[in-house]
Amino acid sequence: MTRHVLTGIDGSPQSEAAALWAAAEAHRRGCALRLLHAWPWLDAGDENRAQPGDLRPRALDALRAIADRIRHDHPDLPVEAEVISDDPVDGLLCAAKGRELLVLGSRGLGGFAGLLVGSVGLALAASAPIPTVLVRSGQAPAELPASAGAAREVLVGLDGREPAEAVVGFAAAEAELRGCRLRVVHGWDPVPIMPFGGLTPPLLNPAEQQAAEAALISPVLTALRAKHPGLDIVEDLRLGGGAQALLDASTHADLVVIGRRERRHPVGPRLGPVAHAVLHHCGAPVAVVPHA
Digit-coded pLDDT (tens) for 221-257 = 999 999 999 999 999 999 878 899 999 999 889 999 9
| Reported confidence tier of residue 198, pLDDT bands at 50, 70, 90 | low
| Higher pLDDT, residue 113 or 164 | 164
Predicted local confidence at residue 88, as pLDDT: 87
CA gap 168, 186 in Å, rounded: 12
Cβ proximity of 102 and 135 under 8 Å: no
Q: Name the residue among 73, 105, 92, 106 with its Cα closest to residue 34.
A: 92
DSSP 212-278: HHHHHHHHHHHHHHHH-TTS-EEEEEEES-HHHHHHHH-TTEEEEEEEEE-SPPTTS----HHHHHH
Q: Is 81 strand, coil or helix?
A: strand
143 or 181: which carries more pLDDT confidence?
181
The secondary structure of residue 104, as a DSSP letter, is E
pTM check: above 0.75: yes
In 3D space, the residue among 15, 27, 33 whose CA is nearest the CA of residue 80 turns out to be 33
Class of domain 4-135: alpha beta
Q: Element (H or E) spanning 58, and its range?
A: helix 56-73
Which one is predicted more confidently, 162 or 19?
19
How many residues appear in the chain?
Answer: 292
Residue 86's pLDDT is 87
Q: Which of 39-53, 105-119, 128-142, 206-220 has the highest mean pLDDT?
A: 206-220
The answer to whether 4-135 and 147-291 have equal CATH topology is yes
Instruction: Mention the CATH class of domain 147-291.
Output: alpha beta
Q: Domain coordinates of the chain in residue numbers?
A: 4-135, 147-291
Q: What is the pLDDT of residues 58-91, one digit of tens each?
A: 778 888 999 999 999 999 999 999 988 888 899 9
